[in-house]
Structure 1
């Protein structure tokens, strides 16, 4: 059976070139970069070169890059680390209702130890209001954390406007750019971003590695204690092979960014065209021109679990953007924030996401299969499941 992977926003396959580059590092340059002998110095050279390259991709300096185990740790360090280190200036944080759980759960933790958190709502396109952000800023606000591009619906936030608003305010500005990095042009200096999170496995790099950009001068409370790696901000021997693979994956992603953007837009148009050929009722959640690789679609009178099971049986991997367990579905917090908890969309929407290896032939085949499945499960629903 043909297998088509349309869940790249969840994780992406490692690029063969990245794997090829990593293997000799693991086999030959295995030294601890903190060691002073030849093996250690070689590992340190690879680490420093990778750090320098990755810093350059966002307009940062090498010392401003903190390597982590991925996006979750980077988000946690940004949110909790900044809050704990700067609590003398206030205990108020502003974020949004549609953040990744790595940010939302970090904020919940802070609420439990005495911090106040404001969760900004979004409109039906999944975008916050700058005026509402402005209204909630106080002299106690120390951090504003707003994701660059949403992982479920692809909505892009007004990052430049947020930064401009905070220009003369004490609050630091953090953005989770895990989905946007490699797809959007980012320069942290020009955009006045203080903290930014990135993960390698979203751009065809290895799992278990990411980084947090922290502008020079920002104080962070470390979450790990041990050695003095990462300028005493993140203890633990660095994942040299993973970081090197990350840097190569970044090169591949950035050199093909414009090509991918056009290709993924074409994929969306192809899917919509085929859906329309089948006279299939559907609506886009968010906007079509958000993150190019994310395509979240509402199919009226369907149900997430039935759709996902049937898609999987047809060899198509997609996602609901919500947590599914046997016999129940936890509705997507993103769609709830956009449309309300009573909306049919929260239980009838599927996220398709594109990436390395996805072809127009895959999209053509998948769209036809999706349309057939939606018509079939809708018909069953209309007949009471008989």
Structure 2
């Protein structure tokens, strides 16, 4: 295997760096400050989209820096998972950048679902406007009343009724739910079938958010932050009836689709973690060498140089592990890369959490404030240790696969 970026990848990385330096960096701090100053809190009905974001999106699209996550050359950049991983690392240095390039979660995963599994009708209605950045979407899977680390615990139902499918249930941490542009949710729910195994009992259903019976209860905060203007919220589906044609692929195919959706998405998350860690490390060095205490630069005090070295080692290890997982995903598919993807999902957020924690310590009280991106990076790291499966579940997957290699299948 060779992780040397292809000429195409190098071109995208170079252009992304220039775009971020020229267009995003100069406005990002002000962008988030304006959102904080508006102080809408949990009242998502008052959330608004910044015209600056829309202007930058138009510029990015005009420069061909658009839908870079999608390997389809007709619809995206035509980059493989491995190639896009290095681009995702660059965008991970900024909280604004992924949306500007139309490479933001949960839209990327939802677009991949529609691209891989959606019908022509579904693609026309929802994939086309998502690819154009005209609307946003929601992924509705986690539930408040069960241990969602085991997705087979799911209580929400999607019951076929003639030419319709009826969705009932409670979901929370539905990402993107508060965005004023959110129009469609992919809802995963149980479609019981006594003749099939437990991994064929769930469906993914496309539910327009203006459907009768969709009730947005609240936005949920993460360490006190509501992630305006996107949000993560609790939503109840009360006898929501949509056409049977809104089922993605087929009733009972939910777990199969989830495997295809989550693999690339986890690669993207992990590479953005690595970009965030690089940004945090640069901030650590700048702060640690420009501030003095007891007659020495901060980085020359205590064990700070050792922590700096440990951060460099950890970032590079996480990057290589993630690139290896991306390569396996490209060559062997989701099942062949399952252990590797689980491994990076454990390693990358933990690495980012440690690097950022040390960076905050160097920055003192400033590191806890909005004056730097460090507090948000910490939230990102800690959240990802739960999102898309908690650390413990991924370790269980790795252990199961490792034991099977040695003849211990159960």
- The structure whose residues are more often helix, as a share, is 2
What TM-score do you get using the length of structure 1 for normalisation? 0.25
With the length of structure 2 as denominator, give the TM-score of the two structures. 0.24
